[in-house]
Structure 1
Amino acid sequence: MAEKNVIGKWKLVRSDENFENYMTQIGIGKVGRAWRKKYKPTQIIVKLGNKMAIRTTNGLFVNLAEFELGEELTEKTVKGEVVKTTYTFEGDDEQTLTSTSNGSKHGILKTERVVEGSEMVHTLTICDIVCKRYYKKVGEAPPFEKVIPPKPGSADAPASEHDANEEKEDQED
């Protein structure tokens, strides 16, 4: 399936001139904008069945979005606003990973990730401002459970810290 095109580890190589305008529109202050323009985030995108996760690391922070395709979830924006977001694959051959977030006082937030040639183009839209950020693939995606560890108490979680240590030792062998 074409959706696997976005699965992997991606490193930002450049942003277009609208990145500053986009950040201003979503309420990021001058210092935050300067900081975000300086750093080159890495995105790891993984999929297991209908579940997906995107882990973004950028210097001092890690943002983790874990979701099921087509199901609405509650999450926070970079400014701490609570929004309702739905992730889907759209377009020809379902090759565009799209998210739409409602509930921000700044407007509807929409993102699209699609692989074009050797780059992943991450398009960010709010109101009439459209920004594109370009990523280069720097590796394959790790296993889903390396990005999203099992939640304590779930069937996949170790029963105790001792079990977790044994499991880790087994993986190292």
Structure 2
Amino acid sequence: MPANYSGTWDMVDNQNFEGYMVAVGIDFATRKVARMLKPQKVFEQDGDSFIIKTFTTLRNYSCSFKIGEEFEEITKGLDNRKCQTTVNWDNDKLVCVQKGEKKNRGWTHWMEGDTLYLELRCEDQICKQTYKRTA
């Protein structure tokens, strides 16, 4: 049985977010504000079906998917690009591949105890975020 990600997670660390945002194509003004944000993630998981909600004081984002099923994602509120997205299990890690304008784009989530890790990838940039479970 894969890991259960359900819960609420608050960001505690964010490394190379600027480099990732530049690679994705986010404008300077938005990057300046986004660097100061401390997102909260809420995972709702029912087996292989997920809803991941990301809340910030600037924008909120929600993504729903089922493991192994490709879907069209519009990264509204982020960089507003359309991509074909697939999320799969790699042991207990959630691994996302986003096919579209940007090369090598996607993310990986994994947990160790009450810590959630997120690695964001785009082109040659990797952003590493750490979250702590709050509920």
Taking structure 1 as the reference length, what is the TM-score of the superposition? 0.72
Larger Rg: 1
Correspondence for 1:119:
115
Match of residue 36, structure 1, among 34, 46, 51: 34
Correspondence for 1:146:
none
Q: Quick one: structure 1 residues 135 and 101, their matched pair in 2 at CA, closer, same or farther if it must change by over 3 Å? A: same
CA RMSD of aligned residues (A): 1.3
Q: In structure 1, how many angstroms separate the alpha carbons of the residues matched to 2:19 and 2:112?
A: 24
Residues 104 and 124 of structure 2 are in contact (CA less than 8 Å); yes or no, is this contact kept in structure 1?
A: no
Taking structure 2 as the reference length, what is the TM-score of the superposition? 0.91
**Partner deviation per Cα, 1:32-64 (whole Å, 9 max, x = no partner):** 111111111111111113311101111132211
Correspondence for 2:134:
138
Unaligned runs of 5+ in 2: none
Q: Kindly state the Cα deviation for residue 127 of structure 1 after the two structures are TM-superposed.
A: 1.8
Q: Quick one: structure 1 residues 131 and 54, their matched pair in 2 at CA, closer, same or farther if it must change by over 3 Å? A: same
Runs of 4+ in structure 1 off by over 6 angstroms are none
User: What is the identity percentage for the equivalent residue pairs of Structure 1 and Structure 2?
Assistant: 27
Which has more strand, going by share of residues? 2
Q: In structure 1, how many angstroms separate the alpha carbons of the residues matched to 2:47 and 2:121?
A: 28
Q: How many residues are aligned here?
A: 133
Correspondence for 1:81:
81
Which has more helix, going by share of residues? 1
> Which amino acid letter does the alignment assign opposite residue 108 of structure 2?
E
